[in-house]
Each structure stands twice: as structure tokens, then as C-alpha cells.
Chain A
Amino acid sequence: MPRQYHDIAHIAEFLLRIQVFNSLETADLHQLARLLKAAYYPQGQTIFSSRPAPGLAIIRKGVVRLVDEQHKFLDKRSEGELFGHRIYFHGELKDYIAEAEEDCLLWRLNAADFDNLRTQHPRVNEYFSSQLKTRLSAATQIKHAATQVRDLLKREPVLVNTDVSIRQAAQRMSEQNVSSVLVVRDGKLCGIVTDKDLRQRALAEGLDSSEPIERVMTDNPRSLAADAAVDTALLLMMRENYHHLPVMDGDRPLGLVTAGDVLRTQSEHPLRVVRDIYKQKSIKELIVLSHRLPSLFERLVNLGREVEQIGRMVTHVTDAFTVRLIQLAEKKLGPPPMDYSWVVFGSQAREDQTARTDQDNGLILEREAEPDEADYFAKLSDLVCSGLDQLGYVYCPGEIMALNGKWRVSLARWKQHFDGWIDQPDPKSVMHCSIFFDIRCAYGNSTLVDNLQEHASSRAREDRIFRRFMAANMLSHRPPLGFFGRFVQEDDGSHSEGLNLTHRGIVPITDLARMRALEAGIHEANTFRRMKLAVEAGVMNEGDAASMRDALVLISQIRLSHQSAQMATGEKPSNFVPPEDLSPLMKRNLKAAFMLVIEAQKALELRYQVH
């Protein structure tokens, strides 16, 4: 029913343009739309005060001014923006009064429904409760000048003078094979004519084609400066339903961007990359495709996506490359002689990759392999691992790869590996466990992985001595806070490198979540989901889980924006962030996050009596 309008489709359509609602499923979006009420506030009218909680307001049209009790200006918000929730103005939580600066149409969600929305949708909640997010993503956006519209221009603009006839203009358009021309007077832009204008204003009206083009052009069209952001063009086109926008250098037209040009920039979407990966027929083609990754990652960060979501998308891409390489290898080597599972470990298993990292993988075979079968899997592993290496997922320095015969064995042998580590815990085996307990099937028969996981996790769950070793090992990664809450920087002897956010911030949280998963027998590798399941299983309290989650999001955000800035300048992304690169506010927040981790580690220390 293409033309039939759904009862609230036009409401949901607008909601979708608002970033925070992007994460909602269609059904949830429609449910939200049904809860909204529209109200109109004429210019100058006070809308409400942020206390007591007035719920959420979405600006459908107009401009709202937020002021403090002394009537001092705090912020201005317009179409598609939100207010009503707690807002941090320059890092400070303030009460505010909202006034209509223009006539405003608002969509309001009452306080109870707003609370419900936040309870039901953690991602939405995170957006509204995070103190950092908005400013952090704003900071990253300033750092990497978003692509400008000038980058989209493909050719010189096709120009005609105001006095040419409609026919001449149309001939010019056909010759140049363009769907629109810019009309200039004395070199200055004064109009635009599109195919549609010719059809509707000239042909349909029966206008004589010798009439001047002026008669059918759109006067003084909206235009963009060459340095305007692509997102600005996108918003303008979406809002006003323009399909063509002239791009100007002063009042000289530089070219024209079309809706198609703008939409194509949106195409570096992970799902699209994934789809393309599966279309490639050789490792060479995959390598060409992998060149798109840095811009993809940068774009994900620029779009202000949530860390959890970025991790999942980036991992999704890694998985696709892995699977495609395996498919190509199987095609070359023939069908596998038995069932197997290609397993991934570490960050790929946890789905928290943020950039290309080294590969951690292995093979679980259904049974012991005969020599010729073993040969098949050795060749397969070589093709896949070397392929990944060429795609930028370099060989694992610790050789935890299917390429290494030790990690390419039968299910029974894998179980023996785990038994060995659990029965005789020593620093090395415990380190192995922290890698191998984060395991996920990327390809093949996933029941092999389930079976191994079941075995390992029930062993670990029973064995408190082993877990105590794990706890002791975990506590060797401490957040970099010294006495008096000063940051402690890594020092390789020659100079201070900065704060190691990965090893001293993210790893401890990942470790804590893994420990909880082991205690509760949870078969899940992702840190966020582990904590959620641990709460459900009753081994972790909800407040602690929320704190860990906040700390993880916060530290990851800072690491991510730092890495993304490095990639934008062509540097290799690093885990070290020099404290002087952080704003005072980020420093404060980072310290708070580290404090949360220290608290949780202390609790763990007590629980396992490790000192």
C-alpha cells in the first residue's frame, strides 16, 4: 500500500531524524509517537521550568531559548532538538526556564512516559543521563572537520545567462547531460532551473520555448558556502525537500550538489561495507575494500554513535572479512572433511573492537584429525590468517591464531587445554584464560563452541582457587591514579607516554565483567551484556553494573575520540592519551570513572581475599 499513510507514520518519520531515537526499532518508534502530544507556544511565552521534571519536549518547529533563574542566556534550540531533560551547560548541570523565542510547535512527552522510555531503552537513557556524551561527540566533531560540500563537487557548474531562451537552456542541459543549470546575471547566481521546472513550468503550462529562461527559474535559490558541512546540506535537503543545492565561493557558483551526491556520502555504512565484502571474489578485491575502513571508523565516531554500537559495527566488519576469507579458502580447497568451528577470541569475541587490531583466532575440530585432514585445516588456516594479515588484522604477537597448530585441535583437546589451565593455575595459564574465556564462533558449527564454553565455564565456576588466581591477576591492572588522585603516566624510561586507557581503564572493567560471567556461568563475551546477565543472575547488583557501564562508556569514548583524531591526521591509533590533551572536565570525569573501577576492584579483592 504505497500511498496509504499509517496513522502516525508522519510523526515517526520526523522522530527518525533525531539522533537519539535512531536506535529505536520501528515498533518502539511508533509507540513513542503515540505517546506524544503537540502544543503551540507563541513567541515570548514561557514554556516551562526544568524543575520539577516536565518530561521531554521535541521542537517540531520554531526556536526555544533556555535561560537560568536570573534570566541569563544558557542555550538556544531549534527544530529537531530536545529539551526538558537535565542539561549540562558547559559541563554544569543547571536548572533552566524554556521560552519560545519564535512561535513554536512542540511535541511533548510527559514525565512518566519519558521515565518509561528511558527504562525500556538503555541507549536512549544513556543519551539523556550521560554528562559527557554530547560535549565529547561535539569535541570530536570539531577536531575532524566533517567533510565539506566542496569535496562533493564533481564538475564545473553548467551556467546560463538570464537572457537565454528556455530551449537554449534545455539544449545546454542535454549536451552537458545534467538535470539542472544555474542561471547567472553578471556572473552572479540568481536562479536555478531543474528538469522538473522545465516540465512543470514550461511544458505543462504551454510556455513558448523562446521565452527567456528567467520565466521558469526558481529565483534566488538556497545555496551553501563551499566550506559548509555535508551534514548541513543533508539536513537542508531533508527539511526543505530540495534536490539540488548550488555551492558558492562568495557569490560565484562553484558547482551543484545533488541529493544523490549527499546520500552517497552516507553510504560508508558498516552494513553496506559488509554487503560489499560478501561480493568480493578474491583476496585482492578484499584488500581494495579494506581501504574504506579508516573513513568508515572515522565516520562512525563523527556521527556520535554510542561506543557499544561502534564496537559492534566494527566487529561486524571484522567478522565479515573473516567469514569471506574462510568461504574463499573452502572454495579453493574443497569442502572440509569434517565439522569445525572458526572461533575468535579477545576483542573480536567481545564485540568491542574500535579499529583494526591484531587477530586472535583458533579452530575447533569435531574430532581428532587424520593426517590428510590435518593438512586441509593447516592450509585453510594459512589462507585465512595470512589473508587477515594482508587486510590489516596483523598476526597476533602471542601466536594465538589458527595458524598455530596448538590452537587448531579437536574439541576434546581444547577441553584438555582448559582443564590444564584451571587445574594448575599459574600466571601464564591465567593469562591464557583471560583471552580464551572471551570466545565466540565466527563461522562453522557453533555447537562445538557452546560445548567447550559449557565445559570451561562449569569448571571455572566450581573452582574457587582458580578464580582466586584470576582475581589476583586482574588486580595487576590498576587504574592510573596515584596518591591525591593524580594521574600516573606510563613511563618507558625515556619519556612519559601518557595514560594507558586500554590497559588501565578498559581491561580492568572487561576483567571484572568476565569474572562475574564466570561466577554466574554466563556464556556471553560482550562486556555490556555480561554485566546485564550478571545482574539478572543475581551475582551483581544493579547499581554496580550501572557504574561499571558508565565508566566503560566514558573511558572508551575518550579513547575513541583520541584514536579517531589520530587517524584523521594519519597517525597510528594508540592507547596512550597524554593528560594535557584532555580538557579539565574530561580529566575530572576520567578520574571519577577510574575511582569507580578502583572501588569495584577493592570489592573483588575482599571477595577473593587477595592482597
Chain B
Amino acid sequence: MIRQWRLGRRCRALAQRCRQESLARYLTECAEIDADRLENTPLISVDLELNGLDSRQHRIISIGWTHVDGGQISFASNRHLLINTDQSVGHSAAIHELMDSDVAQGVPLNVGLQKLFDAARGRVWLFHHASLDVSFLHQACVAWAGIAPPLTVLDTMQMELLMRKRRGIPVANGDLRLGKLRRKYNLPHYAAHNALIDACATAELLLAIAARMDSSGSIRLGPHLIYF
């Protein structure tokens, strides 16, 4: 409760300073998120494709997201945005198969962020391995709007890790990778490394992990929330 209240206060304060309207609106509503049970909490599952791992040096080259409402993923909310960056995709092209020519057809990062934060209003964020993506988002927001917005986040990787620790299951290197975990939960195999498909894949994984924690899938999110 206290945390929620403090977060609210911080969000409102930031909203005052924020230079971008869509982000300011996101911040005002962020204060009112009441993350309770999975089926009552609207989520946005997000994945970024990057041309490197260093948020100060590298760039976001595509953003994909989808909404989870009432414990279901609605495909109507699927979005995939290619970001038009000043940098070459470089060697990362081998991973995500996006070439410079594709990326050049994208939208400017500012436009991408605006659409993303519009779609994220009133929602808890969902990532697989949140810290990397969040650091890129924060870096980008500072350049765009002058602030790094607080994000309330679920991280499927952390949730799985927590569950394994509690059950005393050892974790080997690579066990927590998205594809590997999905196989474990009998989820379909997807062509990896497309931001939208990975965002959908993460959302499906969340539903599977929740069902493993409680067969009705109705889990309390509180213990799993991370505040960035």
C-alpha cells in the first residue's frame, strides 16, 4: 500500500515535469494501477529488438507488444513497430533478421515510444528478462521526454526463478531462456527474435507459469511485481 502510494506521488510529480503529453498521461494513470490478481490486472507484454546490449551505445530497432486482459491475450492489440534509427543494425542482423533497409522503413523512435506509452496506459508491464529492455526504454525516454518513467513490471524469467527456488529445483545455465521455458510448458515453437512474436510468446509463458502456480491461473501478482 505504502509503495503504491509513494509510486503514485512520484508519478504525479514526474508528470508535471514531463515534456511529452502521452507519457504524462501514462504517468497519471500509472498511479492508479491496482495490481491484484492476474485476471483483474491489465498487462502489456513488450519485447524490444536491439542492435546491441549497451543502452548508452546501442539502439532499439523494433518494438512489439500485445495486451493481456482477464488472463487472455487479445490479438487485436498486437503491434509491431520497426524503428528508424541512425545506426546500422550491424552484426545483430544475423539474430533478428532485420536489415538496414527494413529498419529504414520504420518510424522514428519518438513516435514508437509515444504509441507504446499510449498502449501501456493503466497497464502493468510484462517482459521476459526485464532489466535489459527497461534500461533501453529509460534511456530512450530521457532523450525523448526528459524523464525516466517508473515502470511496474512482471518478469517471467524472475517468476520462474522464484518458483524454482521455492521448490528447490536447480537452475542450469540457459534454462531460463524464453524458448527453453516455452518448450517446458508445452507452448508452440515460434520463429524467435521478432519483437511482436516474442512479446506474444512472453505473454503465453506468463499464462502457463500462472497456471503452474495455481491451476486456476488466478495468482496474486503482488509478490512478483518489480518496480523500476
Task: Spell out A's residues near B (CB within 8 Å).
Answer: 1, 3-8, 10-11, 33-42, 44-45, 60-62, 102-105, 107-108
Contacts and interface: CB of A to CB of B under 8 A. Distances in A.
A374 B26 CA distance: 81
Contacts, number: 85
A217 B71 CA distance: 42
A10 B188 CA distance: 12
A468 to B, nearest CB: 56
26 contacts: A3-B97, A4-B102, A4-B105, A5-B80, A7-B79, A7-B80, A7-B196, A10-B197, A33-B75, A34-B76, A34-B78, A37-B73, A37-B74, A38-B72, A38-B73, A38-B75, A39-B71, A39-B72, A40-B204, A40-B217, A42-B217, A45-B215, A61-B186, A103-B185, A105-B186, A105-B187
Interface in B66-85: 71-76, 78-80, 82
A232 B172 CA distance: 37
A155 B191 CA distance: 33
The 6 closest A-B pairs by CB, nearest first: A40-B207, A37-B72, A38-B73, A42-B211, A103-B186, A34-B76
Given A7-B79, A36-B75, 9 more contacts: A5-B194, A8-B75, A37-B73, A38-B72, A38-B73, A38-B207, A45-B215, A104-B186, A105-B204
Nearest to B208: A40
A10 B73 CA distance: 14
B164 interface: no
A334 to B, nearest CB: 52
A590 B191 CA distance: 48
Given A40-B204, A61-B186, A105-B188, A35 B76 contact: yes
B78 A7 contact: yes
Interface residues of B, number: 34
Nearest to A102: B186
A6 B195 CA distance: 11
Interface string B91-117: 000000111001001000000000000
Interface string B195-228: 0110010011001101110010100000000000
A8 B74 CA distance: 11
B5 interface: no
B77 to A, nearest CB: 9
A8 B64 CA distance: 11
Contacts of A33: 75
Given A1-B105, A7-B196, A42 B76 contact: no
B208 A103 contact: yes
B186 to A, nearest CB: 4
A62 B182 CA distance: 13
Contacts of B207: 38-40
Residue among A35, A40, A60, A107 with the highest chain B CB neighbour number at 10 A? A40
Contacts of A1: 102, 105
B102 to A, nearest CB: 5
A45 B214 CA distance: 11
Contacts of A37: 72-75
A45 B188 CA distance: 19
A34 B75 contact: yes
B211 A45 contact: yes
Contacts of A34: 75-76, 78
Nearest to B106: A4
B26 to A, nearest CB: 21
Contacts of A4: 80, 82, 102, 105
Contacts of B197: 5, 10
A186 B71 CA distance: 53
A44 B211 CA distance: 11
A3 to B, nearest CB: 5
Contacts of B188: 60-61, 105
B75 A40 contact: no
B190 A42 contact: no
A102 B187 CA distance: 11
Nearest to B197: A10
Given A39-B72, A45-B211, A61-B187, A8 B78 contact: yes
A365 B79 CA distance: 58
A102 B186 CA distance: 8
A39 B39 CA distance: 11
Contacts of B80: 4-7
B75 A11 contact: yes
Given A3-B98, A7-B196, A8-B78, A42 B212 contact: yes
A152 to B, nearest CB: 26
A44 B105 CA distance: 47
Contacts of A10: 190-191, 194, 196-197, 200
B39 to A, nearest CB: 11
Residue among B203, B204, B210 with the highest chain A CB neighbour number at 10 A? B204
